[in-house]
A and B are shown apart, each in its own frame.
Chain A
Amino acid sequence: MSIPADLKYTRSHEWVRAEADGTVTIGITEHAQELLGDLVFIELPAIGRVLAAAQEAAVVESVKAAADVYAPLAGTVVETNQAVVDAPETVNQDAYAGWLFRMRPATAGDLDALLDATAYQEIVDAAA
């Protein structure tokens, strides 16, 4: 199970990467894609949408189930990844390359409150 050390995580199985320009990139974890199985439909938020932390932001659906993707922190959507909308299976192939959307956080320090790789690993292990 791949859980890169340079990313932050949420209990709801999103990964979050801090970018140099102050934005954050968000996707679903390897563990999440494995639980869902083959993805067939992804719906992303509109660019410019303002989201509260833990608000529903996107939907990923596999053949068997639908799952909400939550905003890991408060902020504004600045970019979405059309490539995963056109080919949802790319998230199954590499969950960390198949990002979903980027946000500009409302407050710079919010990222620090998210889980690190060790803490997320414990959550995954506890669920196994």
Chain B
Amino acid sequence: MQKTVLNESHRRSGARMVDFGGWEMPLHYGSQIEEHHAVRRDAGMFDVSHMCAVDLEGPEARPFLRRLLANNVDKLKAPGKALYSTMLNDSGGVIDDLIVYHLDETHFRLVVNAGTAPKDLAWMAARLDEWRLAASLTPRRTGSGALAMIAVQGPQARQRVWQVLPEQRLACEALPPFVACATGDYFVARTGYTGEDGYEITLPAERAAALWEALANAGVRPCGLGARDTLRLEAGMNLYGQDMDETVSPLDAGLTWTVDLLSPRDFVGKASLLARGQQQQFVGLLLLERGVLRAHQPVTTVQGPGEITSGTFSPTLQQSIALARLPLATALGDTVQVGVRGKSLDARVVKPCFVRNGRILV
């Protein structure tokens, strides 16, 4: 199993370590629910160094991304701006979801998921070759030049980062959401995966343990993948491999807003998306009875069957929530039935964003 540079830091903090996509990562450091609340109410941090930053450099980096990604990279006009996108196969299925940062006109950085990085790199290299475009791909996860990533999230997250990195404060204080800046050895992005404000900080791997410790001393609580999952689910954010994969169209996974079908630009998977159209809708479910919704539980609606793709108990709502794919005709506010361990339980269809900036939205 592969380890991030913060592995020892996690063990010293009493983490329960688990295998996540071939990486040994902290599940929690005692209580997943307390970690969840820390992010909603104060500040928590996640080691996300298992995700892979890939530097794409060259004069044709932008033309490459124009054809590669479902979202339109031309939305990135100024250095520092970030864009969320899916990368599709020819049949319109999702190879991965990723964030692309615009560093300068010949340098973009893609951050892809941990377990999918090898196939992503192979896919991108093959497309570069096929399209004969002048750009190079450099994964920055291991070896010399390796980068670590720490996500600091929560209403107090930015304050705590400024406290720990006072020299970087001026550069990152004014960052709007979804914008990043390079400052010294740090690359600070106002992005995240929790529905709270905060930063994702990319830095040389050898400096990560010191920053982690300084943030902990400043009162930022270490949080594991368990809390990361309940936080992203409350925020209605998709998890690759669970809410979508290579067999699922982004239009059926609630990601239509990330797919640019309006511009004349062609991209991989576009023809399939246009031919098939949207076939299901991606919604949130709020369980109206006691129990816990889980992935793959069947959903019954008057319009036909559906399926839960992610489910959990929401620590903020104190009830179970889920993300699900349902028939197109199902409407918000409908009551549907979920098969939970041999019983049929009622759930309400809601928008798939349950909590944002500490506030309950459903």
Interface positions of A (Cβ within 8 A of B): 37-38, 40-41, 43, 59, 61, 63-64, 66, 89, 92
Which residue of chain A has the shortest Cβ distance to B225 in the bound complex?
A64
Q: Quick check: A38 and B292 within 8 Å, CB to CB?
A: no
Q: Quick check: A41 and B226 within 8 Å, CB to CB?
A: no
* Residues from chain A with Cβ under 8 Å of B341 in the complex: 59, 66
Q: Quick check: A37 and B313 within 8 Å, CB to CB?
A: no
Interface positions of B (Cβ within 8 A of A): 16, 27-28, 31-33, 226, 229-230, 290-292, 294, 312-313, 315, 320, 341
CA distance A40 to B226 in the complex (A): 14
* Residues from chain A with Cβ under 8 Å of B315 in the complex: 63
A37-B27, A59-B341, A61-B313 as given contacts; A66 in contact with B33, CB under 8 Å = no
Which residue of chain A has the shortest Cβ distance to B294 in the bound complex?
A66
CA distance A37 to B28 in the complex (A): 9
CA distance A13 to B230 in the complex (A): 27
Q: Quick check: B313 and A63 within 8 Å, CB to CB?
A: yes
* Residues from chain A with Cβ under 8 Å of B230 in the complex: 63
Q: Quick check: B291 and A37 within 8 Å, CB to CB?
A: no
CA distance A61 to B315 in the complex (A): 14
CA distance A38 to B313 in the complex (A): 10
A63-B226, A63-B230, A64-B226 as given contacts; A40 in contact with B28, CB under 8 Å = no
CA distance A113 to B290 in the complex (A): 35
* Residues from chain B with Cβ under 8 Å of A61 in the complex: 291-292, 313
Extra 13 A-B pairs, beta carbons < 8 Å, given A37-B226, A38-B33, A63-B313: A37-B27, A37-B28, A38-B31, A41-B292, A41-B320, A43-B291, A61-B291, A61-B313, A63-B230, A63-B315, A64-B32, A66-B292, A66-B341
Contact of A37 among B32, B290, B292, B294 (CB under 8 A): B32
* A–B pairs, 19, beta carbons within 8 Å: A37-B16, A37-B27, A40-B33, A40-B292, A40-B313, A41-B290, A41-B291, A41-B313, A43-B290, A43-B291, A61-B291, A63-B315, A64-B32, A64-B226, A64-B229, A64-B312, A66-B294, A66-B341, A89-B33
SS class, residues of chain B in contact with chain A:
mixed
* Residues from chain A with Cβ under 8 Å of B31 in the complex: 38, 92
* Residues from chain B with Cβ under 8 Å of A43 in the complex: 290-291
Min CB distance B322 to A, Å, is: 13
* Residues from chain B with Cβ under 8 Å of A64 in the complex: 27, 32, 226, 229, 312
CA distance A38 to B230 in the complex (A): 12
CA distance A38 to B294 in the complex (A): 16
Min CB distance A30 to B, Å, is: 14
Which residue of chain A has the shortest Cβ distance to B343 in the bound complex?
A43
Contact of B32 among A41, A59, A63, A66 (CB under 8 A): A63
Name the residue among A37, A40, A63, A66 with the largest chain B CB count within 10 angstroms. A63
* Residues from chain B with Cβ under 8 Å of A66 in the complex: 292, 294, 341
* Residues from chain A with Cβ under 8 Å of B312 in the complex: 63-64
Min CB distance B187 to A, Å, is: 32
CA distance A63 to B317 in the complex (A): 13
Name the residue among A37, A59, A64, A89 with the largest chain B CB count within 10 angstroms. A64
| A-B CB proximity, top 5 nearest | A40-B313, A38-B33, A61-B292, A41-B292, A38-B32
Name the residue among A61, A66, A89 with the largest chain B CB count within 10 angstroms. A61
* Residues from chain B with Cβ under 8 Å of A41 in the complex: 290-292, 313, 320
CA distance A43 to B291 in the complex (A): 8
* Residues from chain A with Cβ under 8 Å of B290 in the complex: 41, 43
Q: Quick check: A63 and B33 within 8 Å, CB to CB?
A: yes
Min CB distance B157 to A, Å, is: 22
* Residues from chain A with Cβ under 8 Å of B33 in the complex: 38, 40, 63, 89
* Residues from chain A with Cβ under 8 Å of B16 in the complex: 37
* Residues from chain B with Cβ under 8 Å of A59 in the complex: 341
* Residues from chain A with Cβ under 8 Å of B320 in the complex: 41
CA distance A59 to B294 in the complex (A): 14
CA distance A40 to B31 in the complex (A): 12
CA distance A91 to B315 in the complex (A): 17
* Residues from chain B with Cβ under 8 Å of A63 in the complex: 32-33, 226, 230, 312-313, 315
* Residues from chain B with Cβ under 8 Å of A92 in the complex: 31
